[in-house]
Amino acid sequence: MLRLPRTIEWADGRVRLINQLKLPHSLEYIETSDWRRVAEAIRRMEIRGAPAIGVAAAFAMALAAVHSKARNLEELLSELRACASELRGTRPTAYNLFWAVDQVLATASRAPSLDEAREAVVAKALEIQRMDEEANRRIGEHGEKLIADGDTVMTICNAGSLATSYYGTATAPMYAALERGKRFRVIALETRPYLQGARLTAWELKQAGIDVKIVTDNSIGIVMQRERVDLVIVGADRITRSGYVANKVGTYPLALVAKEHGVPFYVAAPTSTFDLSIEGGEEIPIEVRPSEEVTYIFGQRIAPEGVEALYYAFDVTPPKLVTGIITEKGIVYPPYSKSIPALFGR
C-alpha cells in the first residue's frame, strides 16, 4: 500500500503543508492559521502543482472564514472576495486554483447566516481535497492499463502526490500499476530551474519503491534514441475545451520528440483542470517568473552580470500531439473538441 506523507492537511482551524522547497534534503512543514501565509506559500512555490494549489487556495479561504472578525454575513462575504482576489493573483496558469476559489465563494454566498457560511466554507474546502484524492485514485485505475510489465515511462516536473491531495495525476497510473504487481521503470526529467523532477518526483517514487532515473531536460532526444521509452505521462495546469494542454515548460518539446519516435504521449488530469471557457492555446495565461530564478542556482549566480533570463514557467502542447487525456471519468481521445465537451455532458 502507498504510504506517502500528506501534501496539505486541515486540522482545528490550522493548515499544515509540506515545504517543498526543502525536499529532498528534509521533510519540513509550514503550519499556519493565517490565510495570507498560505497565499505566500503558493507564490513562493513552497506548495505547487495545480491540484495542490487548488486545495491550498480552498484551505486559505477556510482560514479566512474561520478567523474572520466579521459581524454579519455581508462583511464575511466581502472579506472572502478580497481573499479570493489575492489568491487569484498568486499563480496565473493552474486552473484548479481559480476553480477551487470560485467553488468556495459560491458555497459561501448560498449560506443563510454568518455561522453557517463559516461551516459551509470549511466543509467545501475539505470536500475539494477529498474529491481531488478520489479523482486521482480513479485516474490511476484508468491509466494503469496503459503500463505493461517491463515498461519504461517518462515524465516531467512533479505531477505526483506532492502536487495533489494524494496519488498525483501522472504518477497515479504508476502507483496503481505498482499495486497490481507490475514492474516498470520511470525516467524523470529534472525540470530546470526548480528541479521538481530531480527533487520531488525522484523523491516520492523512491519512497514508493519505484525504480526511477533522472535525466537532464535537454537529453530527451538522445534518451529516446538510445533507451526504450514506451510511454510518456505528464500532468497539466490547464486544458482548453479543444485539448490544448498547459504544463511545465519543456512538456511541448517532450511531446514533439515523443511524436517523432512514435511514443504515446498521455496527459493525466482531473476535470478541475479543464477550462471550458477557452478554446485555443494562445488564450491560456502563461506565468513568467523572475529572471533570477534561472540566472542563480542555490544563491550562486551562473550567468554574467547584466544578462537576464526569459523564464516562461509553462508551455502549451497542441492537441495533435496528445495521444489521450486520462481523467477520473475515463480516458478521452481525439477529436478533443468533441470528446472534452462530451466529458462534461455538453
Which residue has its beta carbon closest to ligand MRU? 235
Is the bond leading into 193 cis (omega within 30 degrees of zero)?
Answer: yes
Nearest 10 degrees: Cα torsion 244, 277, 62, 93: 40
**Interacting residue with ligand MRU among 152, 247, 295, 323 (CB under 6 A):** 247
Interface with ligand MRU in residues 58-117 (CB under 6 A)? 94
Interface with ligand MRU in residues 303-332 (CB under 6 A)? 313
51 binds ligand MRU (CB under 6 A): yes
Interface with ligand MRU in residues 216-235 (CB under 6 A)? 235
49 binds ligand MRU (CB under 6 A): yes
169 binds ligand MRU (CB under 6 A): yes
**Residue placing its CB nearer to ligand MRU in the complex, 79 or 315:** 315
| Catalytic annotation, pick one of 132, 151, 237, 275 | 237
135 binds ligand MRU (CB under 6 A): no
d(CA 302, CA 285): 29
d(CA 177, CA 215): 22
Among the residue ranges 43-51, 79-87, 111-119, 337-345, the one whose residues contact ligand MRU (CB under 6 A):
43-51
**Interacting residue with ligand MRU among 23, 48, 178, 188 (CB under 6 A):** 48
**Residue placing its CB nearer to ligand MRU in the complex, 107 or 247:** 247
Residue that is written with C-alpha cell 493573483 in the block: 89
Rg (alpha carbons) of the chain, rounded to whole number: 20
Q: How far is the CB of 236 from ligand MRU (least distance, A)?
A: 6
Map residues 172-211 to x or -, x wherever contact with ligand MRU holds by CB under 6 A.
------------------------x---------------
Among the residue ranges 29-37, 48-56, 77-85, 104-112, the one whose residues contact ligand MRU (CB under 6 A):
48-56
**112 contacts 120 by C-beta, under 8 angstroms:** no
Q: Please, what is the end-to-end C-alpha distance for the chain in angstroms?
A: 37
38 binds ligand MRU (CB under 6 A): no
**Residue placing its CB nearer to ligand MRU in the complex, 118 or 199:** 199
Please name the residue ranges forming H helices in the chain: 35-43, 50-66, 73-88, 95-110, 114-143, 172-179, 202-208, 220-226, 251-260, 292-295, 336-343
> Annotated catalytic, 237?
yes
Q: How far is the CB of 51 from ligand MRU (least distance, A)?
A: 5
**204 contacts 175 by C-beta, under 8 angstroms:** no
Beta bridge partners of 300: 297
Q: Kindly provide the b/e burial profile for residues 11-32, where b requires at least 16 CB atoms within 10 angstroms of the residue's own CB.
A: eeeebebbbbeebeeeeeebeb
Give the interface size with ligand MRU as a residue count (CB under 6 A): 18
Spatial CA neighbour of 76 closest among 87, 86, 61: 61
140 binds ligand MRU (CB under 6 A): no
d(CA 149, CA 90): 41
Spatial CA neighbour of 37 closest among 27, 28, 47: 47
159 binds ligand MRU (CB under 6 A): yes
Among the residue ranges 74-82, 159-167, 204-212, 333-341, the one whose residues contact ligand MRU (CB under 6 A):
159-167
Active site residues per annotation? 237
Residues within the interface to ligand MRU (CB under 6 A) = 48-51, 94, 157, 159, 163-164, 168-169, 196, 235-237, 247-248, 313
